[in-house]
Amino acid sequence: MIQIAVSIPEPLYEAAKRIQAMEGWNESEMHRLFWEKGFALHVQGTLARHQLGLISSEESLAES
C-alpha cells in the first residue's frame, strides 16, 4: 500500500463529510470512492483529448 497526503479546501471536505454521513460510508470508503471516481474522470478526459488529436500517441506514452 502507498499512503498519499492531500490538501483540499475545508468547505469541500465538509461537503464530502456530509455525503459520507448520508451514504453511510466509513472514512476509508469515502477516500477510495473519491480517488477512483476522480481518476476515472481524469482518464476519460485524457482519452477524449487523445481521440481529438490533442495528445499524440508519443506524448501519451511518454507520460506513463
13-23 per-position pLDDT tens digit:
999 999 999 99
Please tell me the pTM assigned to this model: 0.58
27-43 per-position pLDDT tens digit:
989 988 888 888 888 88
* 55 within 8 A of 43, measured Cβ to Cβ: no
Interatomic CA distance for residues 23 and 61, integer angstroms:
38
Residue 46: name the closest of 31, 63, 34 by CA: 63
Cell (9 digits) for 57: 500517441
Interatomic CA distance for residues 45 and 39, integer angstroms:
10
